[in-house]
């Protein structure tokens, strides 16, 4: 009976134990599941995805041969450079970081359990803990910031990091994890990754960092904002050095920021701003780094020699005549500039006398003037809508009768204005637009006769390409900044014969002697043509010229618009032009162009002028042996009244038929007709009168063949 009772009593006791164990197992399962869910880390990306998604904050500019010219920061969130492969990191840095941050990195699977156990024991005993955060755990936090939120250092966050690190180690190789760590680690200031950090903090590439640099780099990792003393102490421990004097000095230099250096050549900052617009973009340009450097040296030397109290800014553009490729683009060189970020090569400035070659080319190709035609360099007053226009020469003197060759080569103002009167302001404005001067958005009447003297605003790139047309027998094509297959239209803008004659004039050192002297900066030991210009108020100084292979355009001035002091075309821009031209032709001199079809050479005498007999070039069929006065064809008829741009007011107290406006036409006008608002008005020599109606009107003069010779616009109110 006792056995039965004992057996009967033992059954409920065993059942209770089994039930308790079951409940404990269930509770453990629930707790484990809850812990698993609570510490579940975010999904870790693949190495290939991380590298593919890497976006530097910079973009890079290269020359035609793939050599780095400059870089431009495009993203301002963090400072990142290109992804740095592990083999491009100095071995000293790799060793120092692994030894200081995760000494068993190459052997564990994302979590260093020995370090974890050591950290737990140290906390239990109150000893100093080394820390158990591995490189894989830190990398996981870089990839997902939720694993390392500020102020959260609890067990749950640590477990999530550990699990994420194990997941990374299962997917990635150790080399991939270390490489990603070096690229993603945040460093001092805004630098992220060893690419930006090595440049900003050490002035070196990652591959060039020394053992001292490596110790400092590793010393920064626990606290990138550490001061010089704390950083030096930690770097000394990393280096395991007995004498830390050099390391402490290097730490002080790093913290002060004095050690950082610019690794990029910084040869084309303005072009970089113009062409680089996306992070990571790499642009291969047409720039030749050798030519770019020569242009920078020439500009910097001249500006330094002139002094900032005279002129502060300048720009240089060099074009390949045959292709239109931009071989040099210098928007400025800094020095003591007060507007160094402004692109002087792309800014529009007043052209000065640099537009005169285009004017003379147009009148020569029309046959209205030749290189030997005589223009009167004497005081002149021209009626305009705003009053009398009285042009003056640069030196405020007058030379009397001068040939076109002498007038253009010596850059005389009054003859240029007379040439524009012979031509037509609107036609000249249209020619300039066709040449690529697209800042001239108004019609000819807006600019008036001052357009001959460069009152319009133009850019240096426009200037260079417009003058390149002379080197290419009058053909225009666009410029190219990017190294790619050349496409685009070409157009014949200037008659090849006229382009040749203008080039010959601008290469004639004897013809410009009166204005520039016998041995100015424009005279080279080989054939080259050039034109200088100075704008009103001495604000801009230009020199643009070409050889058989290159066109070089130079501007100097003050970008803020204040006047230069004692700087002229030959003392400001021309010496830079000369230096660049000499550098371009170091391998061989420039060659004079061959005389094209449509040009004839004649020996000519110029009685009544100060110019001796000479050999002169003419458009075929216009050659002369003696030129004593401007040819009759030059006295082209024109409308002298009403003056273009005038505003006439009707008087309500006077009968309308008593307020007629007389039309006056100069020159021989037999057979010429007047057209008012596209309707015939009558013969030009019949003393026509206009019965004005309120509004804007256009009066045109046409020759017997119907070709418009002149036109004026006026308004009646």
pLDDT of 150 reads: 52
State yes or no: pLDDT of 348 exceeds 90.
yes
Tokens of 40: 């579940």
Q: Angle CA(260)–CA(263)–CA(264) in degrees, nearest 5?
A: 135
Question: If you average pLDDT over each of 49-58, 192-201, 324-333, which comes out highest?
Answer: 324-333
List of E strands, 174-303: 282-284
What are the φ and ψ backbone dihedral angles of 95, each rounded to 5 degrees? Answer: -65, -45
Q: What is the pLDDT of residues 528-579, one digit of tens each?
A: 999 999 988 889 999 999 999 999 999 999 999 898 988 876 789 999 999 9
All residues at 6 or more sequence positions from 538 whose CB lies less than 8 Å from its CB, including other chains: 563, 564, 565, 567
* Single pTM value for the model: 0.78
Within 126-154, where are the H helices? 135-143
All residues at 6 or more sequence positions from 694 whose CB lies less than 8 Å from its CB, including other chains: 650, 716, 717
pLDDT of 128 reads: 57
Higher per-residue confidence, 203 vs 498: 498
Please give the helix or strand (H or E) that residue 124 lies within, else none: helix 113-125
Q: Express as a percent the part of the chain with pLDDT over 70.
A: 88
Mean pLDDT of 232-257: 88
State yes or no: pLDDT of 612 exceeds 50.
yes
State yes or no: pLDDT of 208 exceeds 60.
yes
Mean pLDDT of 98-109: 92
Distance, in Å, from the CA atom of 441 to the CA atom of 432, rounded to the nearest integer, reads 11
Higher per-residue confidence, 461 vs 279: 461
Quick one: DSSP state of residue 638? E
Residue ranges of the domains in the chain? Answer: 47-58+76-256, 349-619, 637-716
Distance, in Å, from the CA atom of 369 to the CA atom of 413, rounded to the nearest integer, reads 16
Burial of 612 (0-12, 13-18, 19+ CB in 10 A): exposed
Distance, in Å, from the CA atom of 641 to the CA atom of 689, rounded to the nearest integer, reads 11
Strand order across the beta sheet in which 58-62 lies:
68-73, 58-62, 282-284
Higher per-residue confidence, 233 vs 644: 233
Q: How far from chain centre, in Å, is Cα 118? A: 59
637-716 CATH, one of 1.10.3720.10, 2.60.40.10, 2.60.40.60, 3.30.565.10 = 2.60.40.10
Tokens of 526: 């080989």
State yes or no: pLDDT of 379 exceeds 80.
no
State yes or no: pLDDT of 527 exceeds 50.
yes
Q: Which of 347, 356, 292 is nearest to 530 (CA)?
A: 356
CATH superfamily of domain region 47-58+76-256: Biosynthetic peptidoglycan transglycosylase-like (1.10.3810.10)
What are the φ and ψ backbone dihedral angles of 122, each rounded to 5 degrees? Answer: -65, -40
What are the φ and ψ backbone dihedral angles of 659, each rounded to 5 degrees? Answer: -115, 40
Give the model's confidence band at 400: pLDDT under 50 very low, under 70 low, under 90 confident, else very high: confident
Mean pLDDT of 634-656: 74
State yes or no: pLDDT of 376 exceeds 60.
yes
Number of H helices and number of E strands within the chain? 22, 27
Q: What is the pLDDT of residues 478-497, one digit of tens each?
A: 999 998 776 778 999 999 99
State yes or no: pLDDT of 106 exceeds 70.
yes
Distance, in Å, from the CA atom of 712 to the CA atom of 715, rounded to the nearest integer, reads 10
pLDDT of 1 reads: 43
Exposure class string for 408-419: b at 16+ Cβ within 10 A, else e = bbbbbbbbbbbb
CA dihedral 340, 342, 343, 344 (to 10 degrees): -80
pLDDT of 394 reads: 64
Q: What is the pLDDT of residues 215-233, one digit of tens each?
A: 999 999 999 999 999 999 9
**Percentage helix, strand, coil for the chain under 3-state DSSP, each rounded to 5:** 40, 20, 45
pLDDT of 314 reads: 96
Q: What is the pLDDT of residues 80-99, one digit of tens each?
A: 989 999 999 999 999 999 99
How is domain 349-619 classified at the architecture level of CATH? Answer: 3-Layer(aba) Sandwich (3.40)
Distance, in Å, from the CA atom of 160 to the CA atom of 91, rounded to the nearest integer, reads 31
């Amino acid at each position: 009976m006792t056995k039965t009772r004992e057996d009967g009593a033992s059954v409920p006791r065993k059942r209770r134990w089994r039930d308790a164990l079951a409940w404990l197992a269930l509770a453990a399962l629930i707790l484990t599941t809850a812990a698993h869910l609570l510490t579940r880390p975010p999904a870790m990306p693949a190495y290939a995805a991380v590298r593919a998604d890497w976006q530097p904050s910079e973009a890079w500019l290269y020359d035609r041969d793939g050599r780095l010219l400059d870089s431009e920061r495009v993203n301002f969130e963090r400072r990142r450079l290109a992804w740095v492969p592990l083999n491009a990191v100095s071995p000293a840095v790799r060793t120092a970081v692994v030894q200081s941050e995760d000494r068993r990195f190459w052997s564990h699977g994302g979590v260093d359990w020995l370090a974890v156990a050591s950290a737990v024991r140290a906390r239990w005993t109150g000893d100093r803990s080394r820390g158990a955060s591995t490189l894989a755990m830190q990398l996981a936090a870089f990839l997902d910031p939720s694993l390392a939120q500020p102020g959260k250092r609890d067990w749950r966050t640590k477990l999530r990091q550990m699990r994420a690190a194990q997941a990374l180690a299962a997917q990635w190789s150790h080399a991939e994890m270390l490489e990603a760590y070096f690229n993603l680690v945040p460093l001092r200031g805004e630098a992220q990754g060893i690419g930006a950090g090595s440049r900003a903090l050490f002035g070196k590439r990652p591959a060039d960092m020394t053992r001292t640099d490596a110790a400092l780099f590793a010393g920064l990792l626990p606290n990138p904002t550490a001061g010089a003393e704390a950083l030096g102490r930690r770097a000394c421990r990393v280096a395991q050095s007995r004498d830390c004097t050099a390391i402490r000095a290097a730490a002080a230099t790093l913290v002060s920021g004095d050690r950082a250096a610019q690794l990029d050549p910084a040869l084309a900052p303005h072009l970089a701003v113009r062409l680089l617009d996306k992070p990571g973009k790499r642009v291969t340009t047409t720039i030749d780094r050798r030519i770019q450097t020569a242009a920078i040296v020439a500009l910097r030397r001249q500006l330094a020699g002139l002094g900032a109290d005279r002129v502060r800014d300048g720009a240089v553009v060099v074009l390949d005549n045959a292709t239109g490729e931009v071989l040099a683009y210098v928007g400025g060189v800094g020095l003591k500039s007060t507007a160094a970020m402004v692109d002087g090569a792309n800014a529009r400035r007043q052209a000065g006398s640099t537009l005169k070659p285009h004017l003379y080319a147009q009148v020569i190709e029309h046959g209205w003037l030749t290189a030997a035609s005589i223009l009167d360099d004497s005081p002149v007053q021209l009626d305009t809508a705003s009053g009398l226009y009285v042009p003056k020469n640069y030196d405020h003197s007058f030379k009397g009768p001068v040939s076109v060759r002498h007038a253009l080569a010596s850059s005389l103002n009054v003859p240029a204005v007379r040439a524009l009167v012979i031509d037509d302001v609107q036609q000249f404005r249209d020619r300039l637009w066709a040449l690529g001067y697209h800042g001239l958005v108004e019609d000819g009447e807006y600019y008036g006769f001052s357009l001959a003297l460069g009152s319009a605003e133009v850019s240096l790139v426009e200037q260079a390409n417009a003058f390149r047309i002379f080197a290419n027998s009058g053909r225009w094509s666009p410029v190219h900044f990017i190294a790619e297959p050349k496409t685009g239209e070409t157009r014949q803008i200037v008659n090849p014969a006229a382009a040749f004659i203008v080039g010959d004039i601008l290469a004639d050192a004897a013809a410009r002697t009166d204005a520039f002297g016998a041995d100015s900066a424009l005279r080279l030991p080989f054939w080259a043509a050039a034109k200088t210009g100075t704008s009103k108020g001495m604000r801009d100084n230009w020199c643009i010229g070409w050889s058989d292979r290159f066109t070089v355009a130079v501007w100097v001035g003050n970008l803020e618009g204040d006047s230069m002091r004692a700087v002229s075309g030959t003392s400001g821009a021309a010496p830079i032009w000369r230096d660049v031209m000499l550098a371009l032709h170091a391998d061989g001199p420039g060659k004079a162009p061959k005389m094209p079809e449509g040009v004839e050479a004649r020996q000519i005498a110029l009685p009544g002028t100060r110019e001796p007999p000479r050999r002169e070039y003419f458009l075929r069929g216009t050659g002369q042996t003696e030129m004593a006065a401007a040819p009759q064809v030059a006295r082209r008829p024109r409308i002298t009244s009403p003056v273009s741009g005038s505003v006439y007011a009707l008087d309500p107290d006077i009968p309308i038929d008593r307020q007629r406006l007389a039309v006056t036409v100069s020159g021989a006008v037999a057979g010429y007709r007047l057209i008012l608002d596209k309707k015939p008005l009558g013969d030009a020599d019949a003393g026509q009168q206009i019965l004005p109606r309120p509004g804007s009107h256009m009066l045109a003069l046409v020759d017997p063949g119907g070709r418009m010779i002149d036109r004026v616009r006026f308004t009646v109110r």
